[in-house]
Chain A
Amino acid sequence: MTESFVSIRNLYKIFGNNAPAMVSYAKAGMHKKDMLQAYGHVLGLRDINVEIKKGEITVIMGLSGSGKSTLIRHLNRLVDPTAGEIIVNGTDIMKLDRARLQQLRRTQMSMVFQKFALLPHETVLRNAGMPCSVRGDGRAKTDQTARKWLSRVGLAGSEALYPHQLSGGMQQRVGLARALTSNSELMLMDEAYSALDPLIRSSMQELLLELQKDLQKTVVFITHDLDEALKLADHLVILKDGEIVQQGEPQYILLNPADPYIEDFVSDINRARVLRVRSVMEKTIAEDDGYEVLDGDETLERAILRSHGAADKSFAVHSDGTRVGTLKMTDVLKALVPTAATGRNHTNV
């Protein structure tokens, strides 16, 4: 779980005619606005360092214009960086020629798009089988794989339909099935659920988590929605104006926001529902203190419910059957109030 599948190191992306010359200014810390005014170049991404762990969901969150879609397109080189390194599964993808890059895209990574990007003239089955047919697999094998994943995302029986005959949510299920059919380790999801309405979005999130439990893919998920980010992320990266403001475990970011921007961002969140018991508990283990047992992965909401509102109660926190800590209800109440930024720069857990 701790092995990095993708490493992004010192990545800069500058848009403009003379971008390479601008890198030194960006490195010197020139502000995005100044660069646009003085040189007419747009600073897309500045000094991005992210380790994407194998089998985890890494969520990159930011508002529009923060560079998140540009960043994810660097991973399969739909966009080339101005400076920096991208290592995928041990290969520096900047050093690949065209043919080997195509090979990498065919075997190592798949992508799900915000606007679905299905082929309108091909059936659902052919769409889902696209990664295989692009690779040159036979029709029978392609269809078999596509059928398997279509039924896995709940679309069995719709194989012969065309994309326009499906609703948005169903179309995105086809998009998801297409990504799974490629059978690649890395799955890039570019605002995959942003175009869906809230109820369908929520069920698609459940579907992704459920699939993730079985498949343990390395997922990079882009979103502008903090609720979605907190629900899905194992590792959360927050981008602002092309720079990483903070990254780490979502629970940690919620409890220790690095700066006022993130503080603002997380202030509207229903913390009781997002924070887990294990993030708030004390790691003191006193045996036989007779407290009620509570699982570490429960939300604070559950804990409040279990305590019946009693502020002086404590719980014994268990994880996988063993005692890992103690939860005091006073800590729970404190955790429910948004914390002010500590001023120090927390970029790591």
Chain B
Amino acid sequence: MAAYERAFDTLGLRSWCDAGAISGPMSMDDLLAKAGAAGTDQTESFPFPSLDVLHKACGAIPRTRDMTAGLERLFLDVKDPAKVVLDPVTQPLSWALRNAIDLMQSLPWWAAILILVAIAHCAGRRIGVTIFVLVAFLGLAFIDHFGYAMQTLAIIMVCTFICVLFGVPIGIAMSRSNRLERWLTPFLDLLQTLPTFVYLIPLIFLFSVTEPKLYGIAIILYAIVPSIRLTNLGIRLVDKDVLEAGEAFGMTSWQKLYRVQLPLALPNIMAGINQTIMLSLSMVVIASLVSAPGLGTLVLRGINKLELGVGLVAGLGIVLLAIVLDRVSRAALQRVNKMHQSRT
């Protein structure tokens, strides 16, 4: 300890240290030290020069908790100007989510099931999958979870749509510029590895918990990554020969995009969308912490009130929904793949 004080003295920084001394509420360590019950580490002659240790030697250096408090202040300072821009931009998301949820719930059960089964059949064209979807929804309705499942499904559909709407163009841009790819990749890594709860913290500050866009943004940020990545990858993997053929016959870069690159990248893009749907589903459960309706709220109730049965059944309902979404999107993917197996 004394070593650091001496170091500041010899560097001639003592006056700077004392002048800029940061005082704050006492920390636990201070209290303990004052009480004379000095911890063993305090007598250590050469502790790691962390912020807290250096603060003791020189008052001008901030403590770690000053740093986190500073970060919070910074966030609160930029929050209001950010809201001016973010609020109107994200308002359509709230509107879309609210309407989608209302729409799904206002449909009579038979109409909802009919529409969903029809969508599943058009996407997958596999009779087995279609029957499975029908049975799954009838089962959910039978145990009175249909309404919750519809809410969850509505959120997923809206969020997936927006993920594709933004993710595919971003992926295309990324495939065209190596520099953009280099810059965006760490950001995408961050989005994917950040613990899901941590997403929610800044969002809660930014938006009111009553607004659907709060969980909408959380889901989209988390689920958009595979759409971007796999679009980028798919376009980069497009057969160079076919692209060259397009070039040789005088295609413009726009023609190359929609006649060669996007169709040939479609299997990969679809795989990305499949992943996006799955990630939306996993996030929508966590987002129930911030008022996202649906099956997740039941899981949350199960945890909060220790209602084992409620939580378990809702959890299994989510699994069922996941299987439905996965099988349908994968059947669609396989249909596309079949058309693409041209390399002999």
Residues of A within 8 A of B (CB): 76, 78, 102-107, 109-111, 113-122, 130-131, 134-135, 162-164, 168, 178, 182, 188
Are the CB atoms of B244 and A113 closer together than 8 Å?
Answer: yes
Cβ-Cβ contact count across A and B, 8 Å cutoff? 75
Q: 4 closest pairs, A vs B, by CB?
A: A106-B250, A105-B250, A120-B342, A164-B342
**Do B255 and A163 touch across chains, with their CB atoms under 8 A apart?**
no
* Distance of B140 from chain A, by nearest CB (Å): 36
Partner of A118, one of B242, B252, B341: B242
Within the complex, which residue of A134, A168, A178 is in contact with B250, where a contact is CB–CB below 8 Å?
Answer: A134
Chain A residues with Cβ below 8 Å from B252 are 102
Interface size on B, residues (CB 8 A): 23
Please choose the segment from B10-18, B65-73, B114-122, B257-265 that sits at the chain A interface, where 4 or more of its residues have CB less than 8 A away: B257-265
Contact of A134 among B242, B249, B339 (CB under 8 A): B249
What residues of chain B have their CB less than 8 Å away from a CB belonging to chain A? 239, 241-242, 244-252, 255, 259-260, 263-264, 266, 339-342, 344
Q: Assuming A134-B255, A164-B344, A168-B344, is B250 touching A120 (CB within 8 A)?
A: no
Of B250, B263, B264, which is within 8 A of A102 by CB?
A: B250
Chain A residues with Cβ below 8 Å from B341 are 120, 164
Given contacts A78-B244, A113-B244, A131-B249, 15 further A-B contacts (CB under 8 A): A105-B247, A106-B250, A110-B248, A110-B249, A111-B249, A117-B239, A117-B241, A119-B260, A120-B342, A121-B263, A121-B340, A134-B246, A134-B251, A134-B255, A135-B250
B245 is contacted by which of A109, A111, A121, A164 (Cβ under 8 Å)? A111
Assess whether B248 is in contact with A76, with CB atoms less than 8 Å apart: yes
| 13 examples of A-B residue contacts, CB within 8 angstroms | A78-B244, A78-B247, A103-B250, A117-B241, A117-B244, A118-B242, A119-B242, A119-B260, A119-B264, A120-B339, A162-B339, A164-B344, A188-B248
Q: Which residues of B contact A122 (CB under 8 A)?
A: 263
Cβ–Cβ < 8 Å partners of A130 in chain B: 249, 259
Report chain B residues within 8 Å CB of A163: 342
Among candidates A116, A162, A164, A182, residue contacting B249 with C-beta atoms closer than 8 Å: A182
**Is A118 a contact partner of B250 (Cβ separation < 8 A)?**
no
Residues of B within 8 A of A106 (CB): 249-250
Shortest CB-to-CB span from B105 to chain A, Å, is: 38
Task: With A134-B255, A164-B342, A168-B344 as known contacts, state yes or no: A119 contacts B250, CB within 8 Å.
Answer: no
Query: How long is the Cα–Cα vector from A102 to B255 in the complex, in angstroms?
Result: 12
The one of B249, B251, B264, B344 in contact with A121, judged by C-beta atoms closer than 8 angstroms, is B264
Minimum CB distance partner of B260 in chain A: A119
Chain A residues with CB under 8 A of B342: 118, 120, 162-164
> Which residues of chain B have C-beta atoms less than 8 A from A103's C-beta?
250
Chain B residues with Cβ below 8 Å from A118 are: 242, 245, 342
In the complex the two chains form, what is the Cα distance from A121 to B250 in whole Å? 19
CB contacts (< 8 Å) of B344 on chain A: these are: 164, 168
In the complex, how many angstroms separate the beta carbon of A65 from the nearest chain B beta carbon? Answer: 19
Q: Once the chains bind, are B244 and A120 in contact (CB under 8 Å)? A: no
Q: Which residues of B contact A102 (CB under 8 A)?
A: 250-252
Q: Cα distance A106–B255 when bound, in Å?
A: 13
Bound form: Cα–Cα A119–B344 in Å: 14
Residue of A nearest to B336 (CB): A121
Known: A110-B249, A168-B344. A121 touches B339 (CB 8 A): yes
A117–B245 CB distance below 8 A? yes
A118 to B246, CA, bound (A): 9
A125 to chain B, nearest CB (A): 15
| Chain A proximity of B250: nearest CB distance (Å) | 4
Query: Which residues from A are CB-within-8-Å of B246?
Result: 134
Q: In the complex the two chains form, is B339's CB within 8 Å of A117's CB?
A: no
Q: How far is the CB of B17 from chain A (nearest CB, A)?
A: 53
Q: Is the CB of B264 within 8 A of A120?
A: yes
Determine which of B244, B248, B263 lies in contact with A119 in the assembled complex, contact meaning CB atoms within 8 Å: B263
Q: What is the bound-complex CA distance between A162 and B249, given in angstroms?
A: 20
A114 to B239, CA, bound (A): 13
Q: Which of A121, A131, A178, A188 gathers most chain B CB within 10 Å? A: A121
Closest residue of chain B to A75 (Cβ to Cβ) is: B248
Q: Report the bound CA distance from A44 to B330 in whole Å.
A: 46
Residues in A neighbouring B245, C-beta threshold 8 A:
111, 113, 117-118
In the bound complex, CA of A119 to CA of B241 (Å) = 10
A119 touching B259 in the complex, CB below 8 Å, given contacts A162-B342, A168-B344: yes
Chain B residue contacts of A105, Cβ below 8 A: 247-250
Task: Give the residues in chain A near B242, CB-CB below 8 Å.
Answer: 117-120
